[in-house]
Amino acid sequence: MSWHALLGNPMNLTRQDVEKIAHLARLSITAQEMPVYVTSLSSIVNFVDELSRAQTGDVLPMAHPLDGQHQRLRADVVSESDHHEKYQANAPAVQAGLYVVPRVIE
Amino acid sequence: MLHTLSIGELGRNLNSGQISSVELTRHFLARIERFNSALNALITLTAEQALAAAAAADAARAAGGQGPLLGIPLIHKDIFCTDGVRTSCGSRMLDNFIAPYDATVVAKLKTAGAVMLGKANMDEFAMGSSNETSYYGPVKNPWDRTKVPGGSSGGSAAATAARLAPFATGTDTGGSIRQPAALTGVTGVKPTYGRVSRYGMIAFASSLDQAGVFAQSAADAAIVLQAMAGFDPRDSTSIDAPVPNYPATLSAPLAGLKIGLLREFFDGLEARNAALIHEALKIYRSLGAETVEVSLPHLPLSVPTYYVVAPAECSSNLSRFDGVRFGYRCENPKDLLDLYTRSRGEGFGAEVKRRIMTGTYVLSAGYFDAYYLQAQKVRRLITDDFRAAFAQVDLLIGPTTPTPAFDIGAKINDPVTMYLNDIYTIGANLAGLPGLSLPCGFVDDLPMGLQLIGPHFSEAKLLNAAHLYQEATDWHRRSPHGYE
Amino acid sequence: MADWEVVIGLEIHAQLATKSKIFSGSATAYGAPPNTQASLVDLAYPGVLPVLNADAVRMAVKFGLSIDADVARRSVFARKNYFYPDLPKGYQISQYELPVVKQGKLAVMLDDGTVKTIGVTRAHLEEDAGKSMHEGLAHASGIDLNRAGTPLLEIVSEPDMRSAKEAVAYMKKIHTLVRYLEICDGNMQEGSFRCDANVSVRPRGREKFGTRAEIKNLNSFRFVEKAINFEVSRQIDLLESGGTVVQETRLYDSDKDETRSMRSKEEANDYRYFPDPDLLPVHIDESFIEAVRATLPELPDAKAARFARDFGLSAYDAGVLSASRELGAYFEAVVAELGAAHAKLAANWVMGELSSGLNRDNLDIAVSRVSPAQLSGLLTRIVDQTISGKIAKEVFESMWSEGESADAIIDSKGLKQITDSGAIEGVIDAVIAANPKQLADYRGGKDKLFGFFVGQVMKATEGKANPAQLNELLKRKLGGGA
């Protein structure tokens, strides 16, 4: 196996695939950008498809680099106080202490 | 010349009263003033705060205060949150973002008395290997301004190489400290995952990100790492273990040290580059180390593994940038969906969007098992390879990058070719291992890096091995022309 | 017309009664001004990280032990990715593949007195979202993130319930349990305890489940019952008219008493769950479990069984009195003073007069106007025949409004029962003498007139004649005895 082996079957994404992904990720993609993403995402997917050649059988997936560590637990203590004015200084739109967004429809 | 002195020498001069921190700070601010417009290494300058902090450091020293970093200037990568100072992460998304708190790394260095001069340019959200994805434009390599400095911590690397500060912070998710350190001829250390707190460091890929340091030598890096490392209760992945005294063991003899030469790193490596590594091995042997060849059979899969795991995590980590609580919001959103898609579509650059979409794809229904889960399994195979290697040897050695710095613009339109720049560095991130890059010579008049990788928590040994190499060579003392 | 079987499963969300949030040190108190309890972590500021609250884990384990479930030695937090303004990170931290509690069960008593065991598939820890407000904003919503990050235990049942009433009985039992365990305040108005109902129907006898609809965010027992009943008829009508049920999320509109499709949630969700890299696997060892087990209170079923056994109460009464720890404790305090022999009397009073008083004034038993000591003082006077049960109700009303002891009220109002046979006989004689016609009719066979004479005597004694003595004496006198 060599570093530059980009084998495997070409997995070309379609424009519809990319539109669906962009929607899931809430990213607007302009019509001009679209072909570039279709091409580059296809080449990335083809590249990572090399993983399918690895024999992984019953290998346990590894989510953390330091295996065997456990989650530490924090004592149930209120340690935070109100700083909403400072925190909301970065907000694009605030009214009466609330973050304002276009109407949420349920 | 103050900017050629080591941190230890600067400390002695400050202690003896030969210079003050204010003078030292002014000296580096003047260098930034002189060189930064050509390099674009810093994107925010905090001169006023720096001079105030320097004056405070001088006062503290006068009152008997001590510490190896008291009054020493530094530059922070703009990925670290700095209270009251813009923290952009190299993105339009955060161009207007004033962090309301200090990252733990920032707070620790502040407590140690270090003086922040400003914030360094970087690839947008640390996604890049050339520093060309920054919203603020590319950083130029001080060795040749037509070349990239590497990335994503390109600003920190270029600033350290051009001696705009004695040291700089960086982060390394797939090589973002070691690769630019190699391409700019400085020493860069990526510690063990969990050794340095991630709190306040804007997340790219949480299971891979680790903060580290750029310095002019391993000895300087040891001093800085000492101040940065340690347990942080705010970071669940931070390790609660004592930090060894790094400077104390810098000169420990290397006799009997077993160094593993990574066979996979030499596959297809250019002869001139390989020759530099073999020269370095000779030096290590002369220092009493033993070198053996080792193989990590799954290592060639580290790049595709990384380009599944890192985008997957980033796609989720960057969902918080939605135009609601902070950051960029599009003009006149017509509804909620429009607010989200345009704020994110306009606020993020092309590479960030590409990675978010890659990550969204590999986590989505129908692809999760084939990509994400498979990558996690291969990640274990790679980690197991490293573990097996460290049963035989104390350290692994190889090149940091396949080539020296490349031309600005050469690879930016071909993501996969760009990704392959990180082939030698990514393995350490996947396995959570510490790695270090140090200058080891030149190819085409551009610096090249030697990479050392050790087992978990072996930073002291890496710094020791790097320091003794630097005692025996002077590659790390070379300065880019014009910045002497 | 086919005979339809209803299949219901519930997902109950119980806010855990921790002081601080599940992943941050912000307070969880209800009703604070907007965003004043939203820290950098709750706001998902760049760079911040979650750290898990130990008490949230303890409470989840406590729940698991109380339903005889498996407590996972290793559980994992995952990210559920979706965009919504009340979800600051763009993902909810929840447990997906490896929840902290698995496979428990709960015995629920149904209306007909039978006991049904409902399976609990799992209970997992997760964080609550914030709230969207719409009042006073034109074409906009305001986001309050005070609730974001409040710990939730999501309790998922098996699809074991076969009617709305069963679902409500199960939900009430969980409600009782979480308050017993002191892991949730159970306040449904404030949203501390709410549920989603998965409802489907199938022809009776068929094994395969029908397509289900999920009704979101039901925050009262009444709404759960009404929403399920509406949904069941909707689905049956649809199927009987040849239509099909669509798998979807629906919202119950209590004003119109109907469920409607939530179009905003309609689009195919792809939550892209993956393990949260900011949190490590949660490890729960034996000593942790045993330490939690040591804090378990007597559970409702055990308490009810003990009440039935020790005090001879009916299963129903024992169930009512053990419905909350406070009610059970009140009852036991009364019995402690009064003696176990009179437990049935105490039970009747606690479930009767006391409960109606509390309901009428909308009071919690902890702040009852009549204390257990006061109530047992009153009941003692029934037992020793100082007053009749009927007079006692009058005394209770005065105690409730004036807060005085039973004895003080009996004295000041002169309500003490007449137990002197001579005095009662005197009144009987006078009543008989005044009603010769009724006496003749009674003796002529109109037995029903006995009640008339009792009434007349009680009227003359202002209700204070001892009823047992009165009965006995009256019977003798009317029968012509001496």
Cα A67 from Cα C11, distance rounded (Å): 33
Kindly state whether residues C323 and C259 are assigned to the same domain.
Answer: no
Torsion of CA B428, B432, B436, B441, to 10 degrees: 10
Select from B70, B57, B61, B77 the least CA-distant residue to B125.
B77
Kindly state whether residues C440 and C395 are assigned to the same domain.
Answer: no
What does the block give as tokens for C391? 């007079």
Phi-psi region of B288 (alpha: psi -120 to 50; beta: other; left: phi over 0): left
Torsion of CA C158, C161, C166, C169, to 10 degrees: 0
Cα B168 from Cα B109, distance rounded (Å): 11
Kindly state whether residues C38 and C81 are assigned to the same domain.
Answer: yes
Kindly state whether residues C187 and C304 are assigned to the same domain.
Answer: no
CA B298 and chain centroid, separation: 25
Digitized pLDDT (tens) for each residue of chain B, 484 residues in all:
899 999 999 999 999 999 999 999 999 999 999 999 999 999 999 999 999 999 999 999 999 999 999 999 999 999 999 999 999 999 999 999 999 999 999 999 999 999 999 999 999 999 999 999 999 999 999 999 999 999 999 999 999 999 999 999 999 999 999 999 999 999 999 999 999 999 999 999 999 999 999 999 999 999 999 999 999 999 999 999 999 999 999 999 999 999 999 998 888 788 999 999 999 999 999 999 999 999 999 999 999 999 999 999 999 999 999 999 999 999 999 999 999 999 999 999 999 999 999 999 999 999 999 999 999 999 999 999 999 999 999 999 999 999 999 999 999 888 888 888 889 999 999 999 999 999 999 999 999 999 999 999 999 999 999 999 999 999 999 999 999 8
Kindly state whether residues C397 and C378 are assigned to the same domain.
Answer: yes
Select from C331, C284, C283 the least CA-distant residue to C308.
C331
Determine how many CB atoms are found less than 10 A away from the CB of residue C251: 18
Select from C433, C435, C360 the least CA-distant residue to C400.
C360
- Looking at C412, C441, C469, which one is the last position of a domain? C412
Whether residue C39 is predicted with pLDDT greater than 80 in this model: the reply is yes
Domain count, chain C: 3
Report which of residues B373 and C414 the model is more confident about. B373
Q: Return the SS3 of B9.
A: helix
What does the block give as tokens for B1? 């010349």
Is any Cβ of chain A less than 8 angstroms from the Cβ of C143?
yes
Q: pLDDT for C214-235, tens place per residue?
A: 999 899 999 999 999 999 999 9
SS3 sequence, B200-231? CECCCCCCCCCEEEEECCHHHHHHHHHHHECC
The reply to whether B77 belongs to the active site is yes
Q: Do B236 and A18 touch (CB under 8 A)?
A: no
The letter for the amino acid at B434 is P
Kindly state whether residues C15 and C111 are assigned to the same domain.
Answer: yes
Domain housing C426: 421-478
Partner chains of A (3+ C-beta pairs under 8 Å)? B, C
State the pLDDT at residue C2: 66
DSSP per residue, B58-115? HHHHHTT---TTTT-EEEEETTB-BTTBB--TTSGGGTT-B-SS--HHHHHHHHTT-E
If you search the block for the tokens 């202490």, which residue do you land on? A97
With CA atoms as reference, the chain C residue closest to B201 would be: C47
State the count of interchain CB pairs (< 8 A) between A and C.
Answer: 121
Average pLDDT in chain B: 97
Determine how many CB atoms are found less than 10 A away from the CB of residue A105: 12
Q: Do C272 and A24 touch (CB under 8 A)?
A: yes
Determine how many CB atoms are found less than 10 A away from the CB of residue B262: 23
State the pLDDT at residue A7: 42
Backbone angles phi, psi at B195, to 5 degrees: -75, -40
Q: Do C140 and A82 touch (CB under 8 A)?
A: no
Cα B344 from Cα B314, distance rounded (Å): 14
Q: Do C141 and A84 touch (CB under 8 A)?
A: no
Determine how many CB atoms are found less than 10 A away from the CB of residue B99: 25
Q: Do C51 and A69 touch (CB under 8 A)?
A: no
- Going from the N-terminus, what domains does chain B have, and what CATH number goes with each? 2-257+393-477 (3.90.1300.10)
Please state at what angle helix A33-48 crosses helix A15-24, rounded to 10 degrees. Answer: 90
Partner residues linked to A100 by β-bridges: C142
Mean pLDDT across the stretch C150-173?
97
- Going from the N-terminus, what domains does chain A have, and what CATH number goes with each? 1-55 (1.10.20.60)
Determine how many CB atoms are found less than 10 A away from the CB of residue B300: 20
pTM reported for the whole predicted model: 0.91
Kindly state whether residues C66 and C101 are assigned to the same domain.
Answer: yes
State the pLDDT at residue C266: 46
Read off the CATH number of the domain in which C443 is found.
Answer: 1.10.10.410
Please state at what angle helix C300-311 crosses helix C325-338, rounded to 10 degrees. Answer: 20
State the pLDDT at residue B238: 97
Average pLDDT in chain C: 92
Kindly state whether residues C107 and C184 are assigned to the same domain.
Answer: yes
The Cα-based distances of B303 to A36, A40, A50, B124, B416 in angstroms read 22, 16, 10, 20, 10
Chain C residues 413-452 with a CB less than 8 Å from chain A: none
With CA atoms as reference, the chain C residue closest to A103 would be: C140
State the pLDDT at residue C466: 83
Give, as one character, the DSSP assignment of residue B244.
Answer: P
Kindly state whether residues C427 and C398 are assigned to the same domain.
Answer: no
- Report, as ranges of residue numbers, the positions in chain A whose pLDDT lies below 70: 1-10, 106
Cα C426 from Cα B247, distance rounded (Å): 110
Cα C447 from Cα B402, distance rounded (Å): 115
Least Cα separation, residue B200 to chain C (angstroms): 4
Contacts of B189 (CB under 8 A, 6+ apart): B177, B212, B213, B215, B218, B221, B225, B434, B435, B436, B459, B462, B463
Kindly state whether residues C189 and C326 are assigned to the same domain.
Answer: no
The Cα-based distances of B254 to B125, B314, B454 in angstroms read 39, 40, 14
Q: pLDDT for C341-364, tens place per residue?
A: 999 999 999 999 999 999 999 998
Kindly state whether residues C87 and C190 are assigned to the same domain.
Answer: yes
Is any Cβ of chain B less than 8 angstroms from the Cβ of A60?
yes
- Looking at C412, C443, C467, which one is the last position of a domain? C412
Partner residues linked to C126 by β-bridges: C94, C152
Determine how many CB atoms are found less than 10 A away from the CB of residue B199: 26
Select from B179, B239, B176 the least CA-distant residue to A65.
B239
Q: Which parts of C384-435 fold into alpha helices (H)?
A: 389-402, 406-412, 421-434
- Looking at C292, C324, C339, which one is the last position of a domain? C292
Residue of B300, B357, B378 with shortest CB distance to A37: B357
Kindly state whether residues C245 and C277 are assigned to the same domain.
Answer: yes
